[in-house]
Each structure stands twice: as structure tokens, then as C-alpha cells.
Amino acid sequence: MNRQTPSDEFESAILSHYDRCRAESPNVRSAILDAWESQPRATPPRRFSWGSRVLGTVAVLLMVAAGLSVWESRSAPELFGADDLPERLVKVDNFRMSGWQIVAAPPDSGQEDTRLPVEFIVERPGRFRHTFHGISENGKQQTIITGMRICDGHTEMMIQQTMSGYMQVPVHPLDAALKTEEIAQGLVLAMVIGPPDLRYHPEGKAPVKGIPCDLYVGSLGEDTRIEMWLNPRTGWPERVVHSRKGQKGNWVHVMEIDEVAVNSQLPESTFTFIPPKGYVDLMAKHRPPAKDGDPQSLDQPAATLTMQENSSAHSQDQSLAVWHCFRLESESALIIWKRTAPAPDANGDRDWLHGLTLEYRSGEPARPLVQAWATPPEPEQWLWSIVRAADGKPLGRGTIGMELRGDRFQLKNGLIPLEFPDQTLEKLIEEAGKLTWKKGAATPSLRNLRDQAAKMKPEKSRD
Amino acid sequence: MSDDAELVRKSIQGDRLAAGAIYDRFSPLVRAIAWDATSRPQEVDELVQEIFLRVLTHLGQLRQGEALAGWIVQVARRQVVDFARHRGKRQLRERPLAEEPADSMPANPCDDRDRVRSAVAQLDENERLAVHLYYLAEQPAEVARQALGLSSSGFYKLIERARAQLCRLLASQESSS
């Protein structure tokens, strides 16, 4: 008998077990469908009105009564899990997460660890506020710089608490929206929820502040883990703790998020900053004067969108830069980018994809991407590339890896395809088109880009 | 799996036929996952009901209908973990008031199917799912990609290992009986 693969005898028993799985139990199907038809549908949380909330509450109460007769003493199913938390956060109007970052004291310094307050607040479409800090160590001497970024939709402020100074610049509303989503879909997800390839596993139930929660744990290698206590009724975490393994093998907290509020009423003061006495405007002398000679007013937003490199990599004579990357649909994205013009061939043509690799990273292995030009590439211009996975399947949560490689250089960029409502994405494409294309050239619409993406056939990516 | 998205869309709109089609397509796989948690047919039915009720009432949260299969697998595995945990607590708290009816008793342990069930239950969690997918899913590699993040080759390596292990477990059962 072959012990490496199931023998015919075993195969027959296995098939018999699976036949049992295919066999229908009487009434189960109809019981499920009947119960489903009498249940309210769970939809992603979004803006609500009190009217609909009251009606919803009444409906829920009625359903509870109806459900009791169907399910007798069985408890109601839980409403939310951790899997789709990032996707649900993209849809909310605002959220606030706050807690503590624990900065370890230098080894053998005899000092206590430092607990720094952390806060991330996002209010779509273009307001945010978040803390940041930097640490430098020189032997047992540790220096911590703390600060905060605030954007009220038309002015961005950078407050450097350690220097008692601040900077503020006007921003275009679309720039404010871009920065807001970079924080919401990039910074917050990476710092609080974890990177795209992190997989959470349920670890049972554990109350937080008396609230029944499901505990999920995700590991980043062997030395780092994230624990999330998710309230299954609201779908939002009540607590998130990041830990790393200490020298003695124990878990040491590095971040604790204890307050999470979603779609709450945020006071206007959240996004304003009144400099405390003694704080200096670090930009005042660099700000161009207005026509009347006074410093330029910050009450008005910037007149145009800023198309500057948002991420870039450079070598001695080569560069790879990206303005932004947008999710067009679940399967495709638009990258607006630049590179050093490749040398022309004998016919004067340039291969703009020469040495470039595009892949999607959402776990192992990375998935190759296929590319199509939204417009013919030209030197010194932003390049518009539509990409989709070579396997033709949805991208899911992840990052686009761009790598430009030559004999003496290797430049890399990681991009998050930002997701926007169609209306905002259309405006972003229109404004970016005006700043990219030659005057008089037609700007492709969101619809054009999506149509083009849909026509791209799955194939092997070119290396 | 292109029509999974269509079934999801229609089910969200309340189409009973579409919801029934989802049940028909995935109930064998869900039932297999439920059998991993219990040997009692009645509990399997209850678990299947809980899993599908949760799936069907939360389809609105599924952003990509094409990922339905992987999502159902994840929901099912989570429900099974919860079930096992709650059952452990219940068994500690409760004592039976009367003898259980015959149909809720574990099936005959000498039954070939239960030997297989028992052997499958001893596999590693991912191996177990791979075996279920291999025997029950229409496109096992695709569902494995969605549910386990595995490439096709990764899935086939896993299934090869799992089936070999299953064979060893069944052979061991055979020799001990």
C-alpha cells in the first residue's frame, strides 16, 4: 500500500466523508433563507440621520422579537470581524484614535521608558490632525522631539513643540484631501492596524472597559505582534496594543490605542491651532508679501493643486519619482510618476519601461502588474500609467512596488493606491491633467481611464 | 467565480434565489469545516445555519464579490473557533438533564466516514482546509489564494503534504484497530 498518497481504499473513505458534506440536511436550507429574509442587512457604517437611526432601532427591536421565535435561545450572530476593518475605515466620515507610544529608555541608562501621547484624527474630505515624534540617542543620552500636524482644509500647520515653533502653509482643497487620505489609508493603517500583509487571527473573547470584545492577534515576524480588541457590535476596536519581544522573551508594549471614536461629532477646535505664548512662526520671514506689503493671508486656500514629488528615489544620474497613485477600480490603479528619460534607440524611440518592474504586494508572493499608458510618455512630463494585476484578479489591500534597475543603480518606491469617492477622483484627475498635459490637450476622464483599464488583458508582466 | 459577484449583488438586494444559490454552492465546504468542530450531526447543522446566516446578512460588507469564496471560508473558520470555545465553557457549566436523543449523539465511530473525519480533524488547520477545498471547491487553488494567501503552487504543495499526512493517519488508525 502506498503510504505517501491515499490509497484507493482510503480515497473511497475520504470521498464518502465528503459525500456526507454534500448531502443536504432537511430544512436547513429553508431555515437559513427564512431567517435571512427576516434579518436586517448589515451595511458598512456611513453617515446616518437620527430619523433613520430611530427607524433602524425600531426595526432591530422587531427583528429581535421575530428572531427569538426562529432561533429560540441562540444568541444573535456577531456583526463585524477584523478582516475588513481597513476597508470599512475608508468609508467613514471621521475617526479619532488616541493613546500612548512607549519609547524605551536607552539600554543600561537606568531611566524610565517615556510615554508619549499619540493621536490620529481624520475628518473627510480634507481635515486631519496627528502627533509625530522623533528620537535620537547618543549613548545613554536620549532626545525626543515631539510635534503635531494639523490641516483645517485650507491651511496646513506643522507644530514643533520641542522647538516652540510652528509653520503654516495654504493648501488647495484637493491637496488637503490627498494628505488626509495619505494619513487615513497610509499612516494610520500602517501605525495602528498594521501593514497590508498582516493577518489577524481570532484569539477568543476578552472584555475591554466592560465591553464584550473579540480579541484578534496579528504577528509581524517573531518579535512583533499587534493585539486588537474589536467590539463586534460596532465593528471598531476598543483597544489596540503593539508589542515587541523584550530581552527576557516577555512582550513589551510599544503602543497602546485606548480611544477609538468613529463618525463622532468633532469640535471645530480640533483642527485649529492657536500658538501658545512664546511660540515662533518659523515661516514668517520666508512668506512672500501680498500686494499690500503685509504677509500673505492664510485665510484663503492655495490657488492650485501642487504636483510635486511625493515619494522619490535618486541615484547619481537617475531618478524615480511618484506624485500619487489612485485606485481606479478594485482591479486597477493609476500611477502618476516620473523617471529620468531613457536613452533613445537608433530610431529615436525611448523604452519608458526599460529596467522598470511593477508588482503588487499584499502578501507572499508579490503579484506582477501589467501597465498601459494613459497618454504617450514624454521627457520631463509626468507619466500616467494604468496598472492592473497580471492575473486579472482584484488588487485587494496592499502596496504597489516600483523598481527601476540599471547596471549601477536600483531605485525603489512603494505606493499605496489611494481610494477616493468618484466625484473627488474625477476632480483630482481633471486638475492633475491640467497641470500635466500640454494646453489644449484633452484630459482623460475617470471613465476613459476605467474603460482603458478594463480593456487591459491579463498577461505576464514585462521585466 | 465571475458570477459570485453577481450572486452577491443580487443577494444584497434581497434576491432569495441568489442567496439560495450561494448556499448551494458553498454549503458542502462549510459543512466540511463544521464537521471539523464536532462529530454531532445536529451541531453541524446548527453551525452551518449560523455561518450562512452571518454570511448572508453581512454580504454588504464584502467589497469584492469575486472574493466571496475566501470570505465565506474565513467566516466559517471564525465561527467554528467560537463554537469550540463556547462549547468548552458550556460543557463545564451544564450537565445533561436527560439522555440525549439518538440523532444528536456522535455518529458510529466505526463508520469509515467518521474515521476520515477524525483523521482530518488531526491535520494542521491549513492542511485541513486544503483537503476540504481539494475535494469540495470548484476552484480550490483560487479559494486557497483568497482564504490562505497561497499561490497555486503553494496550494498544491500544501495539498500534497496534507493528503500524505491524512494517509498516514488513516493507516495508523487501521493498524491500531
B144-172 pLDDT, tens per residue? 888 887 887 888 888 888 888 888 888 88
Chain B hits for A37, CB-CB cut-off 8 Å, are 14, 16
Q: Which residue of B has its CA nearest to A38?
A: B57
Angle at A328 between CA A325 and CA A334, to 5 degrees: 35
Contacts with B23 from chain A: Cβ below 8 Å: 29, 32-33
Contact map slice: B 88-107 vs A, CB within 8 A: none
- For residue A369, what pLDDT is reported? 94
What pLDDT score does A65 carry? 34
> DSSP per residue over A187-251, as a string?
IHIIIII--TT--EEEEEE--BTTB--EEEEEEETTTEEEEEEE-TTTSSEEEEEEEEE-TTS-E
Model confidence at A71, in pLDDT bands (50, 70, 90)?
Answer: very low
Mutate to test the interface with A, among B26, B61, B126 (most CBs of A within 10 A): B61
pLDDT at A88: 87
> What's the pLDDT band for A315 if we cut at 50, 70, 90?
confident
Q: Does B120 touch chain A (CB under 8 A)?
A: yes
From chain B, the residues in CB contact with A205 under 8 A are 85
Q: CA-CA distance, A411 to A318, in Å (whole number)?
A: 8
Chain B residues with CB under 8 Å of A417 CB are none
Longest alpha-carbon distance in chain B: 54
Contact A5 B164 (CB under 8 A): yes
Give the range among A30-44, A286-300, A402-416 with minimum mean pLDDT. A286-300
pTM higher than 0.90 for the full model? no
Which one has a higher pLDDT value, B95 or A105? A105
Provide the pLDDT for residue A271: 93
Q: Does the beta carbon of B32 lie under 8 angstroms from any beta carbon of chain A?
A: yes
Which pLDDT tens digits describe chain B residue by residue (177 residues)? 448 888 998 888 888 888 989 998 899 999 999 988 888 888 888 889 889 988 998 888 777 788 888 889 988 988 888 887 776 655 444 433 333 333 333 344 446 777 888 888 888 888 889 889 988 887 888 888 888 878 878 888 888 888 888 888 888 877 776
Q: Which helix (DSSP H) or strand (DSSP E) does residue A177 occupy?
A: helix A173-181
Q: Is B63 on the interface with A (CB under 8 A)?
A: yes
The pLDDT assigned to A119 comes to 95
> What pLDDT, on a 0 to 100 scale, did the predictor assign at position A299?
56
pLDDT tens-digit map of A392-433: 888 888 899 999 988 888 888 889 999 999 999 999 999 998
Q: Tell me what pLDDT residue A458 has.
A: 66
Angle at CA A81, nearest 5°, toward A76 and A86? 145
Do you know the residue count of chain B?
177
Per the CB < 8 Å rule, is A84 touching B56? no
Closest Cβ opposite residue A84 in set B44, B61, B167: B61
| Contacting residues of A for B59, CB less than 8 Å apart | 41
Answer yes or no: do A13 and B82 touch at CB < 8 A: no
Cell of A123: 475628518
- Residue B154's pLDDT is what? 82
Other beta carbons less than 10 A from residue B28's beta carbon: 20
Q: Taking CB atoms and an 8 Å limit, are A5 and B57 in contact across chains?
A: no
Phi-psi region of A147 (alpha: psi -120 to 50; beta: other; left: phi over 0): beta
Q: Which residue has the higher pLDDT, A296 or A300?
A: A300
The pLDDT, as a whole number, for residue A69 is: 33
Q: What number of CA atoms fall less than 13 Å from residue A193's CA on the CB side?
A: 26
Question: Cα separations (Å) of B52 from B31, B57, B133, B176?
Answer: 10, 8, 18, 38
- Cβ-contact B117, B35 below 8 angstroms: yes
* pLDDT for residue A441 is more than 80: no
pLDDT given at position A285: 67
When CB atoms are compared, the residue of B12, B32, B135 closest to A41 is B12
CA-nearest of B33, B24, B70 to B51 is B33
Pairing label, strands A251-262, A237-245: antiparallel
Distance from the Cα of B31 to chain A's closest Cα (Å) equals 5
Cα distance from A388 to chain B (closest Cα, Å)? Answer: 15
Q: How far apart are CA A415 and CA A401, in angstroms?
A: 6
Place of cell 510618476: A337
Contact: B112, A16; criterion CB under 8 Å = yes
Chosen from B8, B33, B113, B145 to mutate, greatest number of chain A CBs within 10 A: B113
Are B85 and A205 an interchain contact pair (Cβ–Cβ within 8 Å)?
Answer: yes
Among B62, B27, B66, smallest CA distance to B48 is for: B27
State which residue of chain B sits closest to A2, comparing Cα positions.
Answer: B167
Preferred mutation among B8, B27, B156 to probe A, highest tally of A CBs within 10 A: B27
Q: Which amino acid is residue A22, in one-letter code? A: R
DSSP code, position A289: B
pLDDT digits (tens, 9 = 90+) for A2-12: 334 555 667 88
Cβ–Cβ gap B53/A39 under 8 Å: yes
Q: Over 80: is that where the pLDDT of A49 sits?
A: no
- Mean pLDDT to the nearest integer, A234-247: 92
Contact B67 A43 (CB under 8 A): no
**A52 to chain B nearest CA, in Å?**
18
Q: Would the CB atoms of A22 and B136 count as touching at under 8 Å?
A: yes
Please state, as a whole number, how many other Cβ atoms lie within 10 Å of the Cβ of residue A411. Answer: 21
Nearest to A31 among B19, B49, B59 (CB): B49
Residues in chain B closer than 8 A to A20 (CB atoms): 35, 113
Rounded distance, CA B58 to CA A40, Å? Answer: 10
**Which residue in the set B19, B49, B61 is minimally distant from A44, CB to CB?**
B61
Distances (CA, A) of A336 to A307, A381, A385, A386: 10, 10, 6, 9
Predicted pLDDT at A362: 83
